[in-house]
Structure 1
Amino acid sequence: MVGTSFLTRFADCQAVLASSDFLVPDLEWCERELPEWREHPAADFFYTSMLGSNGARHERLRRLVAAAFTPRRVAGLRATVEKISAELLDGFADALAGGGTADFQDLVGYPLPVAVVGELIGVPRGDQAQFRALGQGASRLLEPVRTVEDWARADRAVAALREYFAGLLRERRVSPADDLASALLLMRDTDQGRLSERELVDTLILVFVAGFETATGMLGLTVFALLTHPDQAALVREDPGLAPAAVEESLRWDAPVLMTERIAARPVEVGGVAIPAGGSVTTVLGAANRDPARHPEPDAFTVRRPDVRVLSFSAGAHYCLGAALARVEGAVLIGQLLSRFPGLGQAGQPVRRASIGLRSFDVLPLARAG
């Protein structure tokens, strides 16, 4: 990435992400650095969304969505996560029957997060299969350097997602339900809300895509980490209470989001380096999580590591609202998977996604040993 300072120490990355001296790239940044942004529906979506906004606008959008991710709401979704996980693992077991091989990502890693966030937002199960390709297309916006094809894929995905969620909102106006889509409609004309139609649609897109893209990566990475460290998998199998710790260690050891950019709002110094106003810094989350000053023996994967703290869900004003839900999904799934499939192992070469900014498996083939 040209014109950016890369930060790899945990303390420096955490300080930047938590500091009001740094902003996410937004529309003002677009006008300066991406003058052709209006040609791209994906840029219009990304840099006006909660993820690409700062200050009062970001606070307003975040406050509205935060109601969907309260500790009480997340706790209430745990039973849903357990039910969906069990159903998906039933299908996974069928695929493994008779010595077969099954792609974990295709059968579990993708459909679990999309079903959970679909339940939260109000996307019917029958509509969810189409979102894998659309989510991967929209996620090209998270690449630090975007090619012409990246923009084309992202533009197509955003156009399709906007059409879908506009239709979902039309349905919810006629038939409200107990979901985020209906809740946002109720708030749109209140003093608290004041959401435009485009803001409603784009907020649902962001929550939906962000709710399963990184969680899908996290699930596959956690399963891979445990299966390639069978002694650690055995510890979790013997003590299912270690499942949340295993997820946290996986988030540290192999983060689903490798890096994120910030722009200096004013001249500032980071790690002894002067950053001018408007200067770009890239926090390399994958490196920060393995900073030996924060986590001794950082390359070791151990589920009993004490005092794990990760930046995998960012920090500060843009800390991921869905982090708690993703952790629940991971812990529930890992507990069920290791209990039901004690002889599980790799069955071929996994295929990682072609991405600089995201870590995920496109294919993770598994089979029962023996």
Structure 2
Amino acid sequence: MDAVAAPLSAPPAPRGVIRRLQSRQGREDPFPLFEEIRQVGPVVSLGRHALLVTGYKECAHILSDRIWQVPDQQWRTARGVHTDGSSIGVMATLPRLNPPVHSRLRHLLAAPFTQRALTLMLPTVRDLVHHHLDTLEAELRQHGRAEFMSTVARALPVAVMCAILGLPAKDMPLIAHYSIQTAPLTEPFATPAQITAADEAAGQFHAYIMALMTAPGPHPGDGLLTRWRTETHPARDTTSNGDLAANVVFLLGAGVETTSSLFATALTALERHPRQAAWLTTNPQAWPQAVEELMRWDPSVHNAVRFPAQDTVLAGIEVPAGTLVHALIAAANRDPEHFPAPHDLDFHRPPKRSLAFGAGPHYCLGAPLARLNALELLPELLRRFPTLRTDGPAVRAAGINLRTVITLPVSHRPSQPTIPHP
């Protein structure tokens, strides 16, 4: 009988890789750095107590297997990591909870994202798409250029989420502002100054939602906030208004920032791949696969953090219980052992599940809504604005988790001759 190989220690990550990922160049194009990590191995050490994982198989296992958990309050307390200020509410949200509490709360929040609910939402989403593209057209006509994020990419998912939750339409600019300002709370390497500013915004955002949830008198409409006040649900009876408000903040922030970055990625990707864009105009039935490929190629979430609840082995590497592990989703989505020619944007790529929306218990709750938004906006954007191009670089927020785009100027440019096949 062959001897079982003893687990190995993880080789060290390339020097300064986190600092380089957070640099302006790293935020714009992190994929060469992911490849640099992959050359060392699918699992590498980041200091003494953390790992970086780039392999698709390993990341899928981390996200799916129940032994791997999210760093919740219990994990933080055991290691003397305390959350101060408003961000303590973040610990009561879905991304920071493990089963069974996570399962009960997820069931409570899931109603707007079922297939039936999204079918009912489709006319509203379609109307909002046309409204925001009309706004973009007016801006381009009046000024010759427009700001894509505030006009369409962020404004549309804010409007959709407000419709789902039953939030006042007049507050959409405020909600868009909060969604950007609170994003650093999801970043594992945010600076103290970034956390302080995000804490303040989170406190204001939370207070705004709490005021809506606890306002006296009847709540008009049939949004999620109204249903929470009027309908019974087992998980609602055990969930405080404060925790519910924290999860509304999470749904808004996560839903808006991930969808808006998908729209920005799609616009820039189609500009840089004109043959693919031309092919889509004559093959609109390919849009669902195109959206999946866009999300694989540059997902809205690049990193997910987990720890093993017990000692384990990953790719032959010993991982003690409690070790913080960064599953680099964006790197896994370009693992050549799982996706041939992974750096190519290929709308003909045979369907193969990526990790763009995660996997396992924490699979993105809003994934069906994100797909619906993309399938309604992107074909219409390409149809109505075939010569729309970026008019300057995108300004991205700091961080390695979210692909948040702050601004992206656009204008019309003459189209270039293309070959209508990828």
* TM-score tier (shorter): over 0.9
- For residues 302 and 356 of structure 1, the distance between their equivalents in structure 2, rounded to whole angstroms, comes to 25
Q: 2:106 pairs with 62, 66, 69, which one?
A: 62
Corresponding position: 1:351 with 2:395: yes
In the TM superposition, residue 9 of structure 1 has moved relative to its aligned partner by 1.0
Unaligned runs of 5+ in 1: none
- 1:160-171 alignment, distance < 5 Å: 160-171=204-215
Counterpart residue number, 1:266: 310
Count of residue correspondences: 368
Task: Provide the residue aligned with 2:373 in structure 1.
Answer: 329
Cα root mean square deviation, aligned: 1.8
Q: Is the 8 A contact 2:67 2:310 kept in 1?
A: yes
Structure 1 residue 231 displacement after superposition: 0.6
Match in the other structure for 2:135: 91
Partner residue in 2 for 1:28 = 74
Is the aligned partner of 1:41 residue 2:41?
no
Q: Is the 8 A contact 1:263 1:281 kept in 2?
A: yes
Classify the secondary structure of the residue corresponding to 2:174: helix
The structure with the larger Rg is: 2
Instruction: Name the structure 1 match of 2:276.
Output: 232
Query: Of 407, 411, 418, which aligns to 1:367?
Result: 411
User: Which TM-score applies when normalising by structure 1?
Assistant: 0.95
Q: For the residues of structure 1 that align with 2:307 and 2:140, how far apart are their CA atoms?
A: 48
Greater CA deviation, 1-10 or 148-157?
A: 1-10
User: What TM-score comes out, normalization by structure 2 length?
Assistant: 0.83
Residue 398 of structure 2 aligns to a residue in which SS?
coil
Task: Verify the 8 A CA contact 2:52 2:325 in the aligned structure 1.
Answer: yes
CA distance in 1, matches of 2:101, 2:235: 14
> Which residue pairs with 2:260 in the alignment?
216
CA deviations on 1:53-83 (whole Å, 9 max, x unpaired) are 1121111111101122111111222221111
1:96-245 map, 5 Å = 96-97=140-141, 100-171=144-215, 174-187=218-231, 190=234, 193-245=237-289
Query: Is residue 336 of structure 2 the alignment partner of residue 285 of structure 1?
Result: no
Q: Give the Cα separation in 1 of the matches to 2:251 and 2:169.
A: 17
More deviation, 95-104/134-143: 95-104
Question: Offset of 1:213 from its aligned partner?
Answer: 1.4
Contact 1:118 1:124 survives alignment (8 Å): yes
2:290 corresponding residue in structure 1: 246
Distance 1:245 1:279 in 2: 36
Counterpart residue number, 1:10: 56
Q: Give, in angstroms, the shift of residue 105 of structure 1.
A: 1.0
Give secondary structure in 2 for the equivalent of 1:174.
Answer: coil
Match for 1:364: what amino acid?
Answer: L
Question: Which string of whole-angstrom CA distances, capped at 9 and with x for unpartnered residues, describes residues 113-138 of structure 1?
Answer: 11101111111111110122211222
Query: Where do 5+ consecutive residues of structure 2 fail to align?
Result: 1-45, 415-422
Deviations 1:120-158, CA, capped at 9 Å, x for gaps: 111111111012221122210111212111211221111
* Aligned-pair CA distance for 1:191: 6.6
Distance 1:50 1:173 in 2: 29
The 1-side partners of 2:76 and 2:217 are apart by 34
Displacement of 1:361? 2.3
Is the deviation greater in 343-352 or in 50-59?
343-352
**Native 8 Å contact 2:108 2:235 kept in 1:** no
Which of 98, 117, 120 matches 1:73?
A: 117
